[in-house]
């Protein structure tokens, strides 16, 4: 069905993609822990998998894309100790944990929508699948892959090692992993230092708790993904994705749980998206080194000189390969924006091209299109795809002087292909693409008059007029963004 190859982190090689039940594809991606707003780093990872989702659909696959919402069980330490991240936030804000979950789930979905990510097919929550998690634990206990101690249940690495290797995904030896375990609270019940919790007995102050055969408690963070991927995609499915930092312990533990419970390691292809950095350091909530994806759209951040459209930000993200580290900077984003607008302008020019010249031109659209596919088939090489799009833009410019370059049918084919790659595959929101050019032009003309009136009001410090204009426009779905270089607008 396709010549797609994907880099599988488990085997460390590029492998031809062969789905188990073509044309169906099952894909699971670890979703956010909804205790705070997602940052641009998280957004990058989810957009990387949106690109994969879109490309698989483009290839004609029927994709069931499952991306969970972690709304319980993820502890502060990312391991078996500490407070639940959501419960902690609820305590600090004096809210119900589910109010926290609701707030940040809605926020996450809004960000994904703003950046034109397609919604997954299923978005299951950990708390909605406690029963499935308990059932998986029972299976693991029955086969000695898990044991109970003081109301908690741990995965037994000792038993597991009798049959399977552990540490394959992260490429670490047992000795390395052991030396990395700290002597933390909660280790005393474990038989092996690498054992990890499947179920934790809740301490009296732990409010997020459910009944189970072992105690009133809560499931371990790793377990939800094993239980939910198995439930919706089967014991063996095609693709599992997540950010690079989830390889260990999260995905390593998932593989162990799956193998223990079903004999299969879950996914056949493990894909990991690389990190977004800010000032050379990983963007991470814990260090506060973050950018809010919504601030890019308003320009309200000390890291930014202006606001950007979601399409420009997405273009910046996909100009890097998903497995490369990408460093954020305002200047890099500005450069990406320029390139993005150049491509949009050339698509616009192509759409307006007069029907002139021969039927076929000298520029071979089919060959160019095949090169675009080849780039994406090489482990989603979006930067190479984008380089091909710039080649096409050059051809479009040349064709404006000499219609023998594209020809009439060639131009129509190229327009179709450009739209497919830009909007369907790369997911760039066609915000400035005038599907019907005359309306866009009319809107631009009217808005330039309104924004000029508002600018004058602001210059004379007539805030009530400038605010009234902004609010009235917002009522009509036009959001005005003020930046150091003036005001711009977008239609929501």
What residues line the site for ligand AMP (CB under 6 A)? Answer: 30, 32-33, 41-42, 44-45, 242-243, 245-246, 275-276, 282-284
Rounded to a whole number of angstroms, the minimum distance from the CB of residue 171 to ligand AMP is 17
Instruction: Determine, following the binding rule CB under 5 A, whether residue 66 of this chain makes contact with Zn ion.
Output: no
CA pair distance 155, 162, nearest whole angstrom: 13
Other Cβ atoms closer than 10 A to 77: 14
- Nearest distance from C-beta of residue 248 to ligand AMP, angstroms: 12
> Smallest distance, Å, CB 328 to Zn ion?
25
Output 189 or 245, the one with its CB closest to ligand AMP. 245
Q: Whose Cβ is closer to Zn ion: residue 52's or residue 425's?
A: 52
Strand partners, 24: 21, 62
Quote the distance between the C-alpha of residue 43 and its chain's center.
5
| 3-class SS of residue 375 | helix
124 binds, among Zn ion, ligand AMP, none (CB under 5 to 8 A by kind): none
Question: Judged by CB, which is closer to ligand AMP: 42, or 152?
Answer: 42
C-beta closer to Zn ion: residue 225 or 406: 225
Which CB atom, from 161 or from 284, has the smaller least distance to ligand AMP? Answer: 284
CB of 400 to ligand AMP, least distance (A): 40
Residue among 74 and 190 whose Cβ is closer to ligand AMP:
74
Question: Considering the complex, what minimum distance in angstroms separates the CB of residue 210 from Zn ion?
Answer: 19
What DSSP letter does each residue of 427-488 carry, written as one string? ----TT--TTHHHHHHHHHHHHHHHHHHHHHHHTT-HHHHHHHHHHHHHTTEEEEEETTEEE
Selection from Zn ion, ligand AMP, none that 225 binds (CB < 5 to 8 A by kind) is Zn ion
Angle at alpha carbon of residue 311, lines to 102 and 442, rounded to 5°: 110
Residue 93, SS3?
helix
* 41 vs 407 by CB, closer to ligand AMP: 41
The CB-of-478 to ligand AMP minimum distance in angstroms stands at: 32
User: Distance between terminal CA atoms of the chain?
Assistant: 37
Q: Is 30 in the site for Zn ion (CB under 5 A)?
A: yes
43 vs 369, which CB is nearer to ligand AMP?
43
Closest distance to Zn ion from the beta carbon of 235 (Å) = 17
Cβ neighbourhood burial of 384 (10 Å; 0-12, 13-18, 19+): middle
- Residue among 384, 387, 406 at smallest CA distance from 395: 406
Q: How far is the CB of 49 from ligand AMP (least distance, A)?
A: 9
**Which residues fall within 8 angstroms of residue 106, CB to CB, at 6 or more apart?**
none
Q: Is the Cβ–Cβ distance between 284 and 45 less than 8 Å?
A: no
Q: Tell me which H or E stretch contains 240.
A: strand 236-243
From Zn ion, ligand AMP, none, interface partner of 197 (C-beta below 5 to 8 A by class): none
Q: Residue 282 touches which of ligand AMP, Zn ion, none (CB < 5 to 8 A by kind)?
A: ligand AMP
Give the 3-state secondary structure percentages of the chain, helix then strand then coil, rounded to 5. 45, 15, 35
Question: Which residue stretches of 11-145 are H helix?
Answer: 40-58, 85-93, 97-114, 130-142
Shortest separation between residue 98's beta carbon and Zn ion, angstroms: 20
**80 vs 337, which CB is nearer to Zn ion?**
80
42 binds, among Zn ion, ligand AMP, none (CB under 5 to 8 A by kind): ligand AMP
Site string for Zn ion, 201-240 (x = CB under 5 A): ------------------------x---------------
State residue 92 phi and psi, 5-degree precision: -65, -35
135 binds, among ligand AMP, Zn ion, none (CB under 5 to 8 A by kind): none
Distance CA 16, CA 3 (A): 7
Given the complex with ligand AMP, which of 69 and 157 has the nearer CB atom? 69
Residue 45 interacting entry, from ligand AMP, Zn ion, none, C-beta within 5 to 8 Å by type: ligand AMP
Q: Which does 323 bind (CB under 5 to 8 A by kind): ligand AMP, Zn ion, none?
A: none
Q: What is the distance between the alpha carbons of residues 331 and 249, in angstroms, rounded to a whole number?
A: 35
| Footprint on this chain of Zn ion (rule: CB under 5 A) | 30, 225
């Amino acid at each position: 069905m396709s010549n797609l190859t994907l880099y599988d982190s488990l085997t460390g090689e590029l492998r031809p993609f062969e789905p188990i039940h073509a044309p169906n594809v099952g894909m699971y991606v670890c979703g956010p822990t909804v205790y705070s707003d997602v940052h641009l780093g998280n957004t990058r990872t989810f957009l990387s998998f949106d690109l994969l989702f879109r490309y698989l659909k483009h290839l004609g696959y029927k994709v069931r894309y499952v991306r969970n919402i972690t709304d319980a069980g993820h502890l502060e330490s990312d391991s078996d100790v500490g407070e639940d991240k959501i419960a902690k936030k609820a305590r600090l804000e004096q809210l119900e944990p589910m109010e926290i979950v609701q707030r940040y789930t809605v926020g996450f979905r809004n960000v994904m929508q703003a950046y034109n990510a397609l919604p997954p097919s299923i978005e299951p929550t950990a708390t909605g699948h406690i029963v499935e998690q308990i059932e998986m634990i029972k299976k693991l206990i029955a086969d000695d892959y898990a044991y109970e101690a003081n109301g908690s249940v741990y995965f037994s690495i000792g038993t597991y090692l009798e049959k399977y290797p552990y540490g394959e995904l992260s490429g670490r030896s047992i000795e390395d992993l052991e030396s990395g375990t700290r002597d933390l609270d909660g280790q005393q019940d474990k038989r092996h230092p690498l054992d990890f919790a499947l179920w934790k007995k809740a301490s009296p102050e732990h409010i997020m708790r459910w009944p189970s055969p072992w105690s009133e408690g809560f499931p371990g963070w790793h377990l939800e993904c094993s239980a939910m991927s198995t439930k919706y995609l089967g014991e063996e499915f095609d693709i599992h994705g997540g950010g690079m930092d989830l390889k260990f312990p999260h995905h390593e533990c998932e593989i162990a749980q799956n193998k223990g419970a079903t004999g299969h390691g879950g996914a056949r292809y493990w894909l990991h998206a690389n990190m977004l950095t800010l000032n050379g350091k990983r963007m991470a909530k814990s260090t506060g080194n973050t950018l809010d994806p919504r601030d890019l759209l308003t320009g309200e951040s000390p890291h930014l000189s202006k606001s950007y459209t979601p399409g420009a930000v997405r273009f910046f993200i996909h100009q890097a390969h998903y497995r490369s580290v990408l460093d954020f900077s305002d200047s890099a984003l500005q450069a990406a924006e320029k390139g993005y607008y150049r491509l949009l302008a050339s698509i616009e020019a192509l759409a307006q091209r007069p029907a002139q010249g021969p039927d076929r031109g000298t520029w071979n659209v089919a060959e160019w299109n095949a090169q675009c596919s080849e780039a994406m088939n090489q482990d989603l090489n979006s930067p190479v795809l984008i380089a091909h799009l710039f080649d096409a833009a050059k051809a479009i410019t040349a064709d404006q002087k000499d219609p023998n370059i594209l020809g009439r049918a060639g131009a129509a084919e190229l327009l179709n292909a450009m739209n497919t790659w830009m909007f369907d595959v790369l997911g760039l929101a066609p915000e400035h693409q005038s599907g019907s050019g005359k309306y866009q032009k009319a809107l631009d003309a009217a808005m330039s008059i309104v924004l000029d009136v508002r600018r004058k009001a602001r210059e004379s410090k007539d805030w009530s007029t400038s605010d009234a204009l902004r609010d009235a426009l917002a009522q009509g779905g036009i959001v005005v963004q003020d930046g150091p270089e003036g005001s711009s607008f977008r239609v929501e």
